[in-house]
Amino acid sequence: MYVQGEISGLMRLQDKFFNKDTAFTIEERQLLGIHGLLPPVVRTMEEQVELCLTQFLNIDEDLSRYTYMIRLAARNERLFYKLLAMHGDKCLPYVYTPTVGLACLHAPYVFQLPVVLFITIEDKGHVYNVLKNWPQADVRAICVTDGGRIMGFGELGIHGYPIPKGKVTLYTALGGVRPHYCLPICLDVGCNNSKVREDPLYMGLKRKRPSPAEYDEFVDEFMEAVVSRYGPNCLVHFEDIGNADAFRLLTKYRFKYTMFNDDIQGAGAVTLAAIASALSISNTKLQNHRFLFQGAGEAALGIANLLFVALKTEGLNDNEARSRIWLRDSKGLVVYNRPQSHLEEYKMTFAQNRAPIEKLEDCVREFKPTVLIGVSAQHDAFTREVLELMALYNKRPIIFAMSNPPSKAECTAEAAYTHTRGKCLFASGSPSPPLEYAGETYHITQVNSLYGFPGIVMGAICCCISHLTPAVFIVASHTISSLCTDDDHHQCRLLPSLNKVTLCAFEIACNVVEYAYKSNLAKRKPHPTDIRAFVKHQMYDLNYEAAIKTWLQEYEK
């Protein structure tokens, strides 16, 4: 017996949302018209996961592991997410940082259909029609990039498409967002990086980026099209947009649409959580610290702005809070009236009214920071001299080398611990193995926005939040730091271990929902009586039974 109809058995096997591969029972194979299209073995989902893990671990090259995972997701979505859920420590680095950066550099070679939705500036006037071509109609969360600033690599244009794909994968893998709610988008507005643009393998438009006015007109149409197609509560997550564009769009849209910029706001939330843990370990208060940033882009300003809010909650006024935050960019310390250097408007909030200082080590000598944060993508910017100065001025210097990938990091964990003689509290932006130094084992914290944005997205779409206020990111930050245990602090972990990241996302989602209802930002009514049950009910079901139920419902129709 088999099911007759317009959908053939082969088409059913090619549907990633419902495919079970060899987990189909013989009865199901006969019912669905796929008997004979699979080898006769019948495996449980758990057996499939272990088989996939064996295949995955037998692959030697990082990029090949990335393509293995992408192909698995395209063939059997539930199995892909089950593998991530059961073995995230082994697999997550190959669908997200740091390997996603490698995928961007080799974008033409890892391209799979359909990975993301590509919308070009030549589609202007017809963006809504392009959105309609995406096969899923009930989209609730979008991650979008224009390739303007991909990790530490700079502008890659359309070859930055693996970034939104990786982000929405974590919406589901960590946050529990149902995959068909997620839409990764790459806006192709051209590319000013001639080396990338003129490469014969470049897949995007062979043109330079438009003027800011034309760019804004295009993005305005995109945002309006999203609302028209998916409704006003569809969340738009901007990622890896160039600095000037990112700040301008955030200022323009933050209260008009349900949107956020993860490089600015998400990075701030996770970094603030790591700083809170460092303060607990050193038994100090935030108001007693001084923060020096190597870098003055999106991540630096996002972290600085949240620090500013947090310092004010401890009783400092605006001037006192700003005086504790110094930024250094490629031209030196960010100060007013810097000679022969234009100061971008988005940096003005934290510009210091003092004489310029060019070198980082001179900034450290002058300011004597207690916290040094690297977000510049300048490899080895934290020199031996800088690190030794931090140890000279501080009993427990806090040093974050957060730039991705590792080749762009301001220093290594080994350099930080060696040149501070083991005194520092250190974190990096990429995964790093434990470090042995002077007979002690140090667990290296990865300060990465994956701790924050999956839970923020899940919470936002659960309650249909109208817009994301700064308090949402403070809520996320407090949630993350609260999950650090005394044992974590004893091992100098500044964030919960990666095996808790799914729990972290769930707790953030629940707390964001609670905050949204208390603040009258939630558009979904009525107010849930049990928020945790409310969030759990909306989470993605990893088990195959959910797919079978959907199939049976379709068959009965």
Using alpha carbons, list the distances in angstroms from residue 39 to 12, 21, 26, 406. 16, 10, 11, 43
More confident residue, 439 or 373: 373
Domains and CATH numbers, the chain: 96-261 (3.40.50.10380), 266-450 (3.40.50.720)
Predicted confidence at residue 556, as pLDDT, reads 52
Whether 442 is a known active-site residue: answer no
Predicted confidence at residue 545, as pLDDT, reads 80
Mean pLDDT over the full length of the chain: 92
Tens digit of pLDDT for each residue in 513-541? 999 999 999 999 999 999 999 999 999 99
Q: Which residues are annotated as a binding site?
A: 149, 239-240, 263, 404, 448
Tens digit of pLDDT for each residue in 414-438? 999 999 999 999 999 988 888 999 8
3-state percent helix, strand, coil for the chain, nearest multiple of 5: 50, 10, 40
Residue in 96, 181, 230, 253 annotated catalytic: 96
Average pLDDT for 55-59:
97
Q: Which residues are annotated as a binding site for a divalent metal cation?
A: 239-240, 263
Q: Which residues are annotated as a binding site for (S)-malate?
A: 149, 404, 448
For the record, the structure tokens of 12 come out as: 């059913």
Confidence band (pLDDT; 50, 70, 90) for 549?
low
Instruction: Return the sign of the alpha-carbon dihedral for residues 279, 284, 285, 289.
Output: negative
Q: For residues 273 and 474, give the distance between their C-alpha atoms in angstroms, rounded to a whole number.
A: 9
Whether 167 is a known active-site residue: answer yes
Average pLDDT for 176-181:
95
Tens digit of pLDDT for each residue in 316-346? 999 999 999 999 998 999 998 776 667 788 8
- Residue 446: its H or E element: strand 445-446
Is residue 555 predicted with pLDDT exceeding 90? no
Least confident stretch, 32-36, 111-115, 366-370, 382-386 = 111-115
Q: For residues 507 and 501, give the distance between their C-alpha atoms in angstroms, rounded to a whole number.
A: 10
Among candidate residues 541, 437, 549, 451, the one with its CA nearest the CA of residue 494: 451
Predicted confidence at residue 2, as pLDDT, reads 42
Q: What is the DSSP annotation of 45-107?
A: HHHHHHHHHHHHHT--SHHHHHHHHHHHHHH-HHHHHHHHHHHHHHHGGGTSTTHHHHHHHTH
Predicted confidence at residue 59, as pLDDT, reads 97
Confidence band (pLDDT; 50, 70, 90) for 557?
very low
Residue in 20, 82, 165, 167 annotated catalytic: 167
Confidence band (pLDDT; 50, 70, 90) for 389?
very high
Please report, rounded to a whole number, the percentage of residues in the chain having pLDDT higher than 90. Answer: 79
Is residue 367 predicted with pLDDT exceeding 90? yes
Looking from the CA of 51 toward its CB, the CA atoms found within 13 Å total 12
Is residue 1 predicted with pLDDT exceeding 50? no
Is residue 5 predicted with pLDDT exceeding 80? no
Predicted confidence at residue 547, as pLDDT, reads 64
